[in-house]
Amino acid sequence: MDRTAERIRLLPKYLFAEIDKKIREAQAKGVDVIKLGIGDPDMPTPDYIVKKMQEEVARPENQCYPPDEGVKEFREAIADYYRQRFGVKLDPQKEVLPLLGSKEGIAHISACFVNPGDVNLVPDPGYPVYSIGTLFAGGAPQLMPLKRDNDFLPEFHNIPAEAARRAKLMFLNYPNNPTGAVATKEFMEEAVSYADDNNLIICHDAAYNELAFEDYKPMSILEVKGAKELAIEFGSLSKTFNMTGWRIGYAVGNPLAVEALYRFKTNIDSGLFKAIQFAGVEALTSPHTESFIEELRTIYQGRRDVVVKALQEAGWPLEAPKATFYVWAPVPAGFTSQEFVSYLLEETGVVVTPGRGFGKHGEGFFRIALTVNKERMQEAMERIKNTVRYA
């Protein structure tokens, strides 16, 4: 007898089970599998951050429960970063909240605002946590399709009026996972104005706000005039500093939303290990950080160029993404995204992610994560180029 609650039973089936099985089979046969599936950086956390952590972990005063609202120094470092990087002023007491990774806050924000029967507007394809958090709170996701012919931006005029009327939150994510798309200032302004007209709270996921190429600088939605009245932004140290395993992120913006999330969290978790928060201060304030991030961008850009060039040579109609460490490409004719991913794995030993895993509007695409070194990336793309042509 299955005694699990509905919220567990309604979780979508694990889409990658079949791929995982195929990877294990290929490896058992001795195939040199190259994994470009998961968006987890392959490079280490920079030394200066690790060193700071080593010092802080040894301090007895860091070993007790942290303050629920996060340590003051970390909240201030986040506020300073927003002021310097985006020109956005934040009150470190009321408008900044450390999180156990931004996923934690993104998952919990629905519990703070959604009553059963409410709707959240959710981009599709998208990071699955927006929908899951909505469902866990008893709400219904209203999908906003991200289409290539609209540069993977949602079209607000296509959101049904009834859904907009019932909606509480609108999730946005730029630079975007999985599409690599970026938002213009005009789009951000339109989003704020739409949210204002429809009494929505914008939850902007800014996990990739430092991973951008050439002259492109991602913006904070809080730069838009009036945004702080209705927006909360989720930031993360995971991708910027190769710190996915450390679990450190933050929420900033609308003080009522920050307060609601704070109240929810104090009843669930007891905050981030103080040593990790002090390592976070080091990450955001160290004089080494600027050159570290610059180097990181150069590395991802080199890998991106290998992928884009190879796919173009194989006939893919594709532009290089301006940000993130993903390349989002259409599946050749005759395959579903899952079929194509299985085919690539069987024929080349290269693992990519089927677009369907990010929602129904991800069908017809696959995602390559730029998370192996350039030589491996080149090897993977050689194999793909020698096996398939886009048609």
Two tokens at 42?
Answer: 């392959």
Query: Which one among 37, 141, 180, 249 touches ligand PLP, defined by CB under 6 A?
Result: 249
Task: With CA atoms as reference, report the closest residue to 132 among 7, 5, 299.
Answer: 7
Other CB atoms within 10 A of residue 93 CB = 13
| Site for ligand PLP contains 238 (CB under 6 A) | yes
Q: How far is the CB of 219 from ligand PLP (least distance, A)?
A: 16
123 binds ligand PLP (CB under 6 A): no
Distance CA 176, CA 188 (A): 13
Q: Which of 207, 227, 261, 275 binds ligand PLP (CB under 6 A)?
A: 207
Residue 382 CA to residue 272 CA, distance in Å, equals 43
Report the alpha-carbon distance of residue 164 to residue 106 in Å, rounded: 20
Figure out which of the listed residues 23, 37, 39, 125 binds ligand PLP, where binding follows CB under 6 A: 39
Query: Taking the complex as a whole, how short is the minimal distance between the CB of residue 178 and ligand PLP, in angstroms?
Result: 8
Min dist CB 373 to ligand PLP, Å, is: 20
Task: Tell me the torsion sign for CA atoms 155, 159, 164, 165.
Answer: positive
Strand partners, 141: 120
Is residue 102 near ligand PLP by the rule CB under 6 A? yes
User: Closest by alpha carbon to 304, among 217, 370, 384?
Assistant: 370
Minimum distance from CB of 221 to ligand PLP (Å)? Answer: 14
Interacting residues of 84 by C-beta distance below 8 A, sequence separation 6+: none
Which of 283, 251, 280, 255 is closest to 265 using CA atoms? 251
Residue 103 touches ligand PLP, criterion: CB under 6 A: yes
Cβ contacts of residue 256 below 8 Å, gap of 6+? none
Say whether 49 sits in a helix, a strand or coil.
Answer: helix
- C-beta nearest to ligand PLP: residue: 101
- Please choose, out of 86-94, 99-107, 158-166, 259-267, the segment that lies near ligand PLP by the rule CB under 6 A: 99-107
Binds ligand PLP (CB under 6 A): choice among 16, 81, 86, 127? 127
Q: Quick check: 173 binds ligand PLP (CB under 6 A)?
A: yes
- If the CB atoms of residues 213 and 390 are measured against ligand PLP, the closer one turns out to be 213
Pick the piece of the chain touching ligand PLP (CB under 6 A) from 131-139, 233-241, 275-283, 354-362: 233-241
Q: Closest CB to ligand PLP among 271 and 349?
A: 271
Would you count residue 240 as binding ligand PLP (CB under 6 A)?
no
# residues contacting ligand PLP (CB under 6 A): 14
Residue 120 touches ligand PLP, criterion: CB under 6 A? no
Q: For residues 341 and 331, what is the distance between their CA atoms, to the nearest angstrom?
A: 9
Edge-to-edge strand list for the sheet holding 326-330: 326-330, 365-369, 353-354
To ligand PLP, the closest distance from the beta carbon of 353 in angstroms equals 12
Instruction: Name the residue nearer to ligand PLP (CB basis): 89 or 360.
Output: 360
Residues 254-313 touching ligand PLP, rule: CB under 6 A, are none
Peptide bond into 46 cis (omega under 30): no
Chain positions contacting ligand PLP, by CB under 6 A: 39, 101-103, 127, 173, 177, 205, 207, 236, 238-239, 244, 249
